[in-house]
Chains A and B, each alone.
Chain A
Amino acid sequence: NAGVTQTPKFRILKIGQSMTLQCTQDMNHNYMYWYRQDPGMGLKLIYYSVGAGITDKGEVPNGYNVSRSTTEDFPLRLELAAPSQTSVYFCASSEKTGRGYTFGSGTRLTVV
């Protein structure tokens, strides 16, 4: 039972570089989410998806892009990394809207 798997666990990027954070879930959940967590700031929603082919912006989408070509995968793309994107990124999934989320273990990203 893998649940939600995120890769990589850690990454250091230089300003202006791009990268993709990977997220895969094996629970056949329709709903998937990307959050970022900054110290003392709680979890902020970046993007979410209610099913394959459907995505929508959350509270803080600027500088990010997502795609959802399959039920299992929900990658988060960072274009032109900036220091403000230094954070811990969590992917989560849920069976139905309003149900408890299952979170991945996070990706700690530093932009220098």
Chain B
Amino acid sequence: EDQVTQSPEALRLQEGESSSLNCSYTVSGLRGLFWYRQDPGKGPEFLFTLYSAGEEKEKERLKATLTKKESFLHITAPKPEDSATYLCAVHQTSGSRLTFGEGTQLTVNP
């Protein structure tokens, strides 16, 4: 059974204080790993897809990396507008749906 575990559950940072969020996964075969951002009262918004170990993708202050067992979402010099819940999801090679982790709630204080 696919398992996706995100840590920490919640993270508070000061503006400009860089950090990383972790997503550990167990799947029979990884077809893709996804990162989403979710603001309160809204649906998740797609950020990145990573397909193979060693792959990296960047968007503004966010960089996602992937190994064979986990993914990291690095946040460099965060701003208060980066405050949100970040969700990780995996797509295994058999099947047509994503399995989501429980998310990391990030708060960036000014």
Contacts and interface: CB of A to CB of B under 8 A. Distances in A.
Contacts of B31: 98
Interface residues of A, number: 25
Contacts of B43: 4, 90, 92, 103-106
Contact of A40 (B32, B89, B102): B102
B97 A100 contact: no
A104 B45 CA distance: 9
A31 interface: yes
Nearest to B88: A42
Nearest to A99: B49
Nearest to A30: B96
Nearest to A33: B97
Interface string A75-112: 00000000000000010100001111111111000000
